[in-house]
Amino acid sequence: MKSITINGSQRESVGKKATKALRNAGEVPCVLYGGDQPLHFSAPELAFSSLVYTPNAHTVVIALDNGDTLNAVLQDIQFHPVTDRILHVDFYQLFEDKEIAMDIPVVLVGNSRGVKNGGVLRRNNRKLRIKALPTNLPDFIEIDITPMKIGDKFYVRDLDQEKYRFLHTDNTVVCQIKTARTAIVDEEEEEEELEEGAEAATPTEGAEAAPAAEATQE
């Protein structure tokens, strides 16, 4: 997974007065959890633009002015209700031997058969929460929807779970192709159904046809 570096300054004062002064200076108060004790620091508000205002998932390298470098992920962020300015950010420290839970964006590729025939693609989950070691965190989860027909659903159980595990039930729907009034019959699908029906109607080899019933006379 790609990382974004945020240069910060460790802070000693954490009271309301000190926090207000930081915000007035264009700095964002932050806290890093997950270590032996919470670490308080601040960073310029502009440093968070590529981390917050993006649909992509990133890890964070926090470079402090005392020379310490720490790996982390964004845990929580607070915005001003009116101006949408960033008020506070919480991070969680990463360790190579410790799993971390994180929301990963889902990327759909390909042109679905069902959509070509007038179906509607519905994205039930644009992000999926996984748990993995930091080295196994993916940038995104890719799904090829090319073979999906009208009525098909793609479940969490259909995804590769070798390097990480999903914190969702196996029957969670990631995306599906729903029918629409403008949908047309999938010719290939219709041919497959006709072939299956013909095979089912063909008598088994060696079986004798049942004699026709004789009409009764009154």
Q: What is the DSSP string of 49-97?
A: HHHHSSSS--EEEEEETTS-EEEEEEEEEEE-TTT--EEEEEEEE--TT
Residues of the chain with CATH 2.40.240.10: 3-94
Decide: 74 and 91 in contact? Cβ < 8 Å.
yes
**Confidence check: pLDDT of 129 > 90:** yes
Read off the pLDDT of each residue in 112-117 and give the average, rounded to a whole number. 91
pTM higher than the cut 0.85: no
**Confidence check: pLDDT of 66 > 70:** yes
CATH, domain range 101-185: 2.170.120.20
Read off the pLDDT of each residue in 96-125 and give the average, rounded to a whole number. 94
Whole-angstrom distance, CA of residue 90 vs CA of residue 73: 9
**Confidence check: pLDDT of 180 > 90:** no
CATH, domain range 3-94: 2.40.240.10
Instruction: Retrieve residue 203's tokens.
Output: 């008598």
Residue 39, CA atoms < 13 Å, CB-side half-sphere: 23
Residues of the chain with CATH 2.170.120.20: 101-185
* Of the candidates 132, 101, 108, the residue with the CA atom closest to the CA atom of residue 55: 108
Read off the pLDDT of each residue in 177-195 and give the average, rounded to a whole number. 63
